[in-house]
Amino acid sequence: PEKIKAYQEKLEKNKIKPDNLPPCPRCATDSIYFKEHAYRNRIFLIIVDMFIKKILSALLRFKCPGCGKTFTYYPDFAIPYKHYTRQTTAFFSRSYVKNPDATYQTTVMVDDSAPGYPDDEKTMAPSTIHRFITHLSLLTTIAQKALDLILQENPASDICRNIAALNVPRQKYKTAARKNILLKCMAFFDVEALFHHTFNTSIFTKLAIRYAFR
């Protein structure tokens, strides 16, 4: 909640700039020339003391002065099309793929209970973790660009060898397609961790924004 609050304060003070956005893909105008266009409210879901709480915040959209195309600026905690924060998505996804014995049912449990909504009996469903992992596995452009930067910085890195050696326990998938999704997610976290160690910043900041979370 503190990150969302800090972002909202910056937003209200007009301190959010489009510098980290990619150039316009339609007319190649540099993002520094983008202008504020509109605000779009979004409800974010955060977990506090085992309760899933809703926080309303606004996402800022910029407009390219060259052709009129619009772009959404995503703060550190936000992922396109997701209500759960990036930190929550990464935490549960990493917990599942990094633990060979984990199931979706056990992963969603925290201290023997699943996070729930304070106003009813609904709790976080195991299928939510399944969707988190699928989404992260699709961020292939970000992962590849991060890997390229790592290898430029340290050509002797063994990250490619480590990724090639990744393996998914047989009980975690029923189809080759799901196995591939899990492998991509595992590789993503390996690259993300090394990227952070190498550059002291997260994939999910400038890099993800620059490549439009692809």
pLDDT tens per residue, range 126-171 = 999 999 999 999 999 999 999 999 999 999 999 999 999 999 999 9
pTM tops 0.85:
yes
Q: How far apart are CA 204 and CA 87, in angstroms?
A: 10
Q: How far apart are CA 43 and CA 36, in angstroms?
A: 21
Per-residue pLDDT tens over the stretch 95-131: 999 999 999 999 999 878 899 998 888 899 999 999 9
Short-list 188, 177, 97, CA closest to 139: 188
Per-residue pLDDT tens over the stretch 198-210: 999 889 877 887 7
Beta bridge partners of 43: 56
**pLDDT at position 20 over 80:** no
Look at residue 95 and give its three-state secondary structure.
helix
The pLDDT assigned to 119 comes to 82
The pLDDT assigned to 112 comes to 82
Q: CB-based contacts of 3: which residues, under 8 Å, 6+ apart?
A: 75, 76, 77
Six-digit token pair at 33? 């020339």
The Cβ of residue 49 has, within 10 Å, a number of other Cβ atoms equal to 7
Q: How far apart are CA 54 and CA 66, in angstroms?
A: 37
The average confidence (pLDDT) of the chain is 93
Q: In what order do the strands lie in the sheet with 35-48?
A: 35-48, 51-63, 70-73
Look at residue 19 and give its three-state secondary structure.
coil
Res. 57 pLDDT band, cuts 50 70 90: very high
